[in-house]
Amino acid sequence: MTPPTFRPRRIAVAVAATCALAAGQAYGAAFALQENSGSGLGNAFAAGAAATEDASSMWSNPATLSKRGSMEAAAALHLVTPSIKFHDSGSVAAGNQPLGGTGGDAGGLNFVPNMYVAVPINRQWTFGLGINAPFGLVTEYDGSWLGRYQAVKSEVKTINVNPAFSFKPTDNVAIGFGVNWQRIEAEFTNKVNYSGALLQAAALNGIAPGSPTFNAIAASTPGLDSSAKVEGDDDAWGWNIGILVDVTKNTRIGASYRSEIEYDVDGNASFDNPTPVGPPALQPTLDLLSAGVNSQRLYNGSVTSDITLPAIVNVSVFHQLNDRWDLMADVQWTGWSSISELNFVRTDGTGSLSNTPENFDDAWRIAVGANYRHSDKWMFRGGIAWDQTPVNTTDRTPRLPDEDRWWFSVGAQYKHSKNLKLDAGFTYINAKDASISQNAGSTPSFGLINGSYDAYVTIFSFQGTYTF
């Protein structure tokens, strides 16, 4: 058999990862991590920009640093366990491939730490430093699941370093401002339908579908997969401001704004390609087609991707009802529409490796909560929140099968001594079932994922706060 001459044409194969911009399935809407305070978790973060419990409140509003009367340090660890399960409703296998299973539980145990320090300078000025992880994602399916050509593993980690100052121009008003250095590291993997890529290459190079040679290629290469991985990182700067007003002795209002952060992620794409083996007469053709697929699309090289993480606005109110009870409420807006697509572009000038529509919508979060002071040593917390997803049904991907969710939170604080407070909190997050019908643009290449997800998250938080 005479092998065809391989023509340099682009092969449309599933090669790269979808963005779902830390650790664990999204615990706030999309991939935002709300877990930035151990004391705040017990109230479902309902105090938000009006919280003054400890130094960790500087994340929501730097103006709250003004409430620190002496140097204070707070450190927390959050144990986050999401459960993410897909239920099939008529998915379609990719070309020349078996369908595969439902992927198992894509969630798993994750750890989210954070720490904060507040240092009063004088009666008007206070300095603070916060280190936390504001965004993150980890989902991982079985490597043979039915959606493997769209996603296997998705992992995003962020770290945010936030020095900030608060200033009190009057006794009742404080303003705060800070800068944020943030670093992101991401890894996305999926399988590539190598069998389908070979058949596409054959058709593009004059081997007619249905011909004996085409059928021989299909019969010799069923179930062949390549493994694709995209890794990248970057660091960028942002800023935040806030205001805190003591309306009365028992009531305060806070508001804050966090800026967008623009990343230019640089990284690498790598592929683990198989070697197709067929009958001796067919092998030269297979070798030529395979070499063409590898050299034109499935080759290792550097990539880049621009991503803008969203701005966040918080408005909160806190009211001390009496000596026993505190009431609080918070409204948060996140500008997720800053993310319209994830586009991985090869830096060698050959164009886009993968372009996935996201089309996120801006989203709201509303929370209410209460504290009950049982004694001088013990305080108990509770809260509930509704968290809106920015992900629309049309563009939902298996990397981020996000939906609206409800938070139910409880917590407790124990004052061990004059200087040491210990907080513990628990949250159960119940997400609405998320439907999905996604072929990533080509059912023959990627298959069709059709079904729904059910998901929930449990969070245990532990925090220690020490006043010097």
Residues in the chain: 468
User: What pLDDT score does 2 carry?
Assistant: 40
- Band (pLDDT 50/70/90 cuts) for residue 356 is confident
Count Cβ atoms within 10 A of the Cβ of residue 315 and give its class: 0-12 exposed, 13-18 middle, 19 or more buried: middle
CA angle at 43 for the pair 179 and 330, rounded to the nearest 5°: 60
pLDDT in tens, 326-340: 999 999 999 999 999
- Band (pLDDT 50/70/90 cuts) for residue 8 is very low
User: What pLDDT score does 108 carry?
Assistant: 87
Look at the alpha carbons of 386, 334, 394, 28 in this order and tell me if their dihedral is positive or negative. negative
- Band (pLDDT 50/70/90 cuts) for residue 28 is low
- Band (pLDDT 50/70/90 cuts) for residue 392 is very high
User: What pLDDT score does 31 carry?
Assistant: 75
Quick check: 218 pLDDT over 50? yes
Measured between alpha carbons, how far is residue 140 from residues 107, 143, 312, 372, 438 in Å?
7, 9, 28, 40, 18
pLDDT (average), residues 200-229: 95
Please give the mean pLDDT across all residues of the chain: 92
Quick check: 14 pLDDT over 70? no
User: What pLDDT score does 29 carry?
Assistant: 62
CA–CA distance, 388 with 406 (Å, rounded to integer): 9
CA–CA distance, 24 with 353 (Å, rounded to integer): 26
For the chain, which residues make up each domain, given as ranges? 38-467
Say what angle helices 194-204 and 283-296 make with each other, to 10 degrees.
Answer: 100
Quick check: 209 pLDDT over 60? yes
CA–CA distance, 336 with 29 (Å, rounded to integer): 9
Indicate the fold that domain 38-467 takes in CATH.
Answer: Porin (2.40.160)
The percentage of residues in the chain with a pLDDT greater than 90, rounded to a whole number, is: 88
- Band (pLDDT 50/70/90 cuts) for residue 32 is confident
pTM for the predicted model, two decimal places: 0.90
Quick check: 116 pLDDT over 50? yes
- Both tokens of residue 82? 């999401």
User: What pLDDT score does 26 carry?
Assistant: 44
User: Which one-letter amino acid corresponds to residue 183?
Assistant: R
Count Cβ neighbours within 10 Å for each residue of 408-441 and write b for 16 or more, e otherwise: ebbbbbeeeeeeebebbbbbebebeebebebbbe
pLDDT in tens, 169-181: 999 999 999 999 9
Our CA dihedral for 81, 84, 85, 86, rounded to 10 degrees, sits at -170
User: What pLDDT score does 52 carry?
Assistant: 95
The answer to whether 139 and 457 have CB atoms below 8 angstroms apart is no
CA–CA distance, 278 with 91 (Å, rounded to integer): 30
pLDDT in tens, 414-449: 999 999 999 999 999 999 999 999 999 999 999 999
CA–CA distance, 294 with 271 (Å, rounded to integer): 9
User: What pLDDT score does 30 carry?
Assistant: 64
pLDDT in tens, 234-273: 999 999 999 999 999 999 999 999 999 999 999 999 999 9
CA angle at 328 for the pair 326 and 334, rounded to the nearest 5°: 160
pLDDT (average), residues 132-149: 94
User: What pLDDT score does 22 carry?
Assistant: 33
CA–CA distance, 118 with 66 (Å, rounded to integer): 9
CA–CA distance, 18 with 152 (Å, rounded to integer): 10
Quick check: 280 pLDDT over 90? yes
